[in-house]
Amino acid sequence: MLNRIAILLLFALPLAPTAERTTAVVTVHPLATKAAEQTYERGGNAVDAAVAAALTLGVVDGFNSGIGGGCFMLIHKPDGTFMAIDGRETAPLKASRNMFLRDGKVEPKLSRTGALAIGVPGALAAYDLVIREHGKIALAEHLIQAATIAEDGFVLDKAYLHRLDQTVEKLREFPDSARIFLNQKGNTWPSGHRLKQTDLARSYRKIARLTTDWFYHGPFALKTEEWMRNNGGLITSADLISYKTKRRRPVRSTYRGFEIAGFPPPSSGGVHVAQILNILEAFDLRSMSPDSTQFVHHIAEAMRLAFADRAHWLGDAEFTPVPRGLASKQYARQLAKRIHPNKVTKVEHYSTPPNAKNDLFGKHTTHFSTADSDGWWVACTATVNTSFGSGVVIPGTGIVMNNEMDDFSAKPGAPNAFGLVGAEANAVAPGKRPLSSMSPTIVLLDGKPVFTVGAAGGPTIISQVVLAIVHFIDHEMTPNQALDQARFHHQWKPNWLLVEKGLGQTTIDELRSIGHTVKATDSIGAAQAIGLGQNGTAFIGSADPRGRGVFKVNRN
C-alpha cells in the first residue's frame, strides 16, 4: 500500500516535465484496448482513444454496448475544466406513461424485449461530438478501424459465449439477430467460433463515408421507422432526427480532501456516489479491515439509505425536480446518525434533503477509461442495458438495439430487470431520458486527476465505484489492489445484502448475526481504473481481475 502522507504530497505536485508522452487505456476486451493503443500511436489523444475503444467494443463486446445504445462520457481537459457528455437514450416522441401496462398491470417483457423496449440511441452522437471538438483523428478513421475487425471477425471467448447462452431464446425471436449471433439451427456457436459481422462493418463504413447523418437523418433512420411500423414499435425517423446529446455539469463533491467528479442526472451515479461517500466521512473506515464486518456493515447501511432516496427522487432533471441537497454534507451528516454500529437499521422509505423544492439539478454495461500525460482523462460508461439489449437488430444493419426503456419506472414501485424500483420522478414521458446507474468518475487532488474509475453491472455500478474510491483513499491502495477486494452491494429493495463469497464465511455469518439478510455470489460486476504512479508521471491501472479486460500504458 502507498503511504498516505507520501500520496498526498505526490499527487499535490504537477506532472513532472518529460520529453515522452505517456498514455493509458483500460477496457474489458483486449481488442478494444489494442484499438486505443493504435490510436495513440497515430497521434491521437485520450479522447480519440476512448472513441476508438468504444466503437471496437460495439463489435467485440456488442452484448454490452454499441451504437444502438447510449453512453455517459466524463472528460477532464488539460486546462482543468470538465465536459460531461450525455449520450443517453431517449423515449420515443410517441411514448406514454402507461405504455407497459396491460389491464393495469406491468407486463415486464414489453420493456425488455422487442420494439417497445427500444429507446432512441445516443452513443454515436456523443462520440461524434467529442471527436469534432477535441479529437485529433477523424471519426471516419475510428469507424474504419473497428469495421475491419467486424469484417475479419474475432474468436468468441467464454464471456461472449456465456452471454449467448443466457439470451439465446431472446435472439431467436428476431431473424436478423439469430442470423448473426446463432448458428443455422438457432443455437449458440461452439467454443473457438470466429464471429464475423459484415452488416455491422458495412454500417460503420457508411457512417464513415456519409457522416452520422446516415444514422440519424438518412437510411438507418428510415429502416428503423419501417421496422418499428411493422413490429408494433413507436420510434420514427423524426425521433432520430431530433436526437441531441446534452452537455451536463458534473456533480462535484469532496471526500477526505480529495475532489470527486461524477455524472449528474439522468445518471444516479454521480449523486449517490457523492451521497454515500459524504455519509461515510462520519466513520473511521481506515481503521477497519476491508473484509471486516464493521467495514461492510457501515458502507452497506450508507448504500441502503442512498438507494432509498434514489427510488423516490431521481430521474431526468429536465422533467422532474432532483434536489441538489442529496449530495450535501449537511444532509449526509443527518443520515449518518441513523447508522447503528452493531445492528441493521430499518429504512422504510426515502428521506428529504434540505431545500428539496428549490435547489435542483438543471448489469450489462461496459466501462473504459483513457488518459494521457497532456492532461486528458476520459471516463466513459456505455450500454445497451441487458445482454444484447432488446434482442433486436435492425435488418441489414448489424446494429443491436438497446432495451433502455426498462430503466424507466413502468409503474411506481414495480421493479425493473435489476430489481430497482422507482417513483413518478422516473416515469415514462416523450423525449425523456431514463434513470441510469452508470457512474463514470474522476478523483482529483489539488485540481489534478489522480484516479478514475467506472464499472458495469446495473445498480451495483454505484457500489463498485464507491468501494474502489474508499479503498484508494482510505486504504491507500493501488488501482489493482482496490479492484481486487471483495465487493458487496445493497440497493434498499429488495432488502438484502449481496456479497461476494470471497468476503469470507466468518464475515458473512457475522453480518447475518447483526440483522443483514445476506445473499452470497461468486462475482459482482466489472470495474476498470487508472491512477497515477508513484513518480507522478507514469500511469498505473487495472482491468477488473474478474474479467478478461486489459490495461495498457505506453510511452511514445
Residues marked as catalytic: 365
**Cell numbers at 74, concatenated:** 466524463
3-state secondary structure of 518: strand
* Residues 195, 39: Cα–Cα separation, whole Å: 24
Residues with Cβ within 8 Å of 362's Cβ and at least 6 positions away in sequence, in order, are 249, 317, 318
| Alpha-carbon separation of residue 240 from 252, 282, 297, 404, 438 (angstroms) | 32, 47, 46, 15, 23
3-state secondary structure of 406: helix
CA 118, 110, 178 angle in degrees (round to 5)? Answer: 65
Using left for φ > 0, alpha for ψ between -120 and 50, and beta otherwise, residue 149 falls in: alpha
Peptide bond into 494 cis (omega under 30): yes
**Measured torsion, CA atoms of residues 216, 218, 223, 229, in degrees rounded to the nearest 10:** 70
Residues with Cβ within 8 Å of 29's Cβ and at least 6 positions away in sequence, in order, are 56, 57, 60, 61, 548, 549, 550
Rg (CA), the chain: 22
**Cell numbers at 297, concatenated:** 456493515
- Chain-centroid distance of CA 247 in Å reads 17
| Alpha-carbon separation of residue 254 from 327, 338, 474, 500 (angstroms) | 10, 21, 13, 28
**Helix crossing, 269-280 with 329-336: angle to 10°?**
60
Q: Which of 346, 369, 316 is nearest to 543 (CA)?
A: 369
**Measured torsion, CA atoms of residues 201, 205, 206, 208, in degrees rounded to the nearest 10:** 140
| Cβ proximity of 489 and 460 under 8 Å | yes
Using the Cα atoms of residue 66, residue 68, residue 69 and residue 75 in order, give the sign of their dihedral. Answer: positive
